[in-house]
């Protein structure tokens, strides 16, 4: 059994902000992917995935049936005969490894599923997001449902607010362009749940709440608008502001060895770094107007270009 492929995603803008109703923009990243597969003899990795799916079945049996129901019998049978999620998506890297798995399970086992081919109204998108949020909470404790949504639809998603999301188009890439969005490998795995806990704890402080509302969300929203309009000058102006705010207020989410690199980017304007997902490890997202200059300043680090301006 070789299921359809589900891709990783990148939340370009909106990390943490979307929890508090900022805008967000999520795009599929086809470099990494996963699919459901079955083998008679399982490798150690496949065995772990198979056991994980078994636990996931138990969890799905407790999901509100008015929201979604699954063909649990077939799911159990397939897991018993060696099904696992065969994936190249790195776990704990902020690129949606659990999102792709959730999308694959919904696609294969959900009853009355909303398909990619139908007219995706805002109501249908919100229903899918709610279903995926309930499903993915098994992995993170609390999930927005956006990662699986992106992986399932494989199109860019614009988040206007919690209850207002839409499929969107993004400006075509300039393959010859010097500007780029890139991923920087921190070399360590990040855990979502502890990072979200730190954020929620910080939100209890009035000063932090005001900063989120008056600075962080303001520049996040501006970045989303700039990116969609293709206003590169304004985009880099706002990304620099965002990078500064994150360095000043989200230090625990930035792996320590990257604090200096983060600051260097802001001081030299060679690149600006921001969180990719919840942070704490995994990938860091970078924006540069000159990718070769960024590579030189960040020599010794692995850069993966995901989008060219």
* Residue-by-residue pLDDT tens, the chain, 309 positions: 467 999 999 999 999 988 888 999 999 999 999 999 999 999 999 999 999 999 999 999 999 999 999 999 999 999 999 999 999 999 888 888 999 999 999 999 999 999 988 888 889 999 999 999 999 999 877 788 899 999 999 999 999 988 899 999 999 888 888 999 999 999 888 888 889 889 999 999 999 999 999 999 999 999 999 999 999 999 999 999 999 999 999 999 999 989 999 999 999 999 999 999 888 899 999 999 999 999 999 999 989 999 999
SS3 assignment, position 2? strand
Task: State residue 2's pLDDT score.
Answer: 60
Characterize the bridge pairing of strands 272-275 and 283-288.
antiparallel
CA distance 305 to 179: 10
Beta strands in 217-282 (DSSP E): 272-275
Task: State residue 1's pLDDT score.
Answer: 45
Q: State the DSSP code for 289.
A: S
Report angle CA 32, 174, 94 to the nearest 5 degrees: 30
Where does residue 210 rank: exposed (0-12), middle (13-18), buried (19+ CB within 10 A)?
exposed
What tokens were used for 295? 């590579």
Task: State residue 158's pLDDT score.
Answer: 95
CA distance 19 to 196: 10
Which position has the token pair 């704490």?
Answer: 280
3-state helix, strand, coil in the chain (%, to 5): 45, 20, 35
Angle 97-109/122-140 helices, nearest 10 degrees? Answer: 120
- Torsion region of 94: left, alpha or beta (phi above 0 gives left; psi -120 to 50 gives alpha): left
What tokens were used for 40? 């008679």
Q: Which pTM was predicted?
A: 0.89
Q: State the DSSP code for 111.
A: T
In degrees and rounded to multiples of 5, residue 152 shows phi and psi of -70, -45
CA distance 241 to 227: 15
CA distance 93 to 190: 6
Report all structural domains of the chain as residue ranges with CATH numbers, in order of start: 6-167 (3.30.230), 180-308 (3.30.70.890)
> Residue 195 in contact with residue 253, Cβ under 8 Å?
yes
**For the chain, how many helices (H) and strands (E)?**
11, 9
Which position has the token pair 């943490």?
Answer: 16
Q: What is the CA radius of gyration of the chain?
A: 19
CA distance 69 to 112: 8
């Amino acid at each position: 059994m070789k299921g359809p492929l589900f891709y990783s995603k990148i939340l370009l803008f909106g990390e943490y902000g979307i929890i508090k109703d900022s805008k967000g923009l999520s795009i599929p990243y086809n470099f990494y992917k996963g699919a459901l597969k079955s083998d008679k003899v399982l490798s150690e990795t496949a065995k772990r995935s198979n056991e994980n799916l078994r636990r996931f079945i138990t969890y799905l049996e407790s999901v509100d049936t008015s929201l979604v129901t699954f063909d649990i019998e077939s799911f159990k049978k397939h897991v018993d005969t060696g099904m696992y999620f065969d994936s190249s998506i790195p776990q704990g890297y902020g690129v949606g490894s659990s999102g792709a798995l959730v999308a694959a399970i919904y696609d294969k086992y959900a009853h009355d599923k909303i398909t990619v081919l139908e007219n995706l109204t805002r109501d249908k998108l919100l229903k899918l997001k709610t279903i995926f949020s309930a499903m993915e909470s098994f992995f993170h404790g609390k999930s927005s449902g956006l990662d699986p949504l992106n992986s399932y639809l494989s199109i860019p998603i614009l988040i206007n607010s919690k209850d207002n999301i839409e499929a969107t188009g993004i400006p075509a890439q300039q393959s010859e362009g010097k500007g780029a969005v890139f991923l920087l490998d921190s070399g360590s795995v990040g855990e979502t749940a502890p990072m979200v806990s730190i954020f929620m704890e910080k939100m209890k402080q009035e000063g932090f709440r005001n900063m989120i509302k008056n600075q962080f969300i303001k520049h996040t929203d501006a970045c989303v608008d700039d990116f969609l309009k293709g206003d590169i000058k304004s985009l880099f102006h706002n990304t620099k502001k965002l990078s500064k705010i994150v360095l000043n207020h989200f230090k625990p989410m930035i792996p320590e060895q990257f604090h200096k690199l983060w600051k260097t980017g802001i001081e030299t304007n060679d690149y600006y770094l921001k969180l990719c997902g919840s942070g704490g490890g995994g990938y860091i997202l970078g924006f540069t107007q000159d990718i070769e200059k960024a590579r030189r300043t960040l020599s010794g680090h692995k850069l993966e270009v995901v989008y060219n301006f």
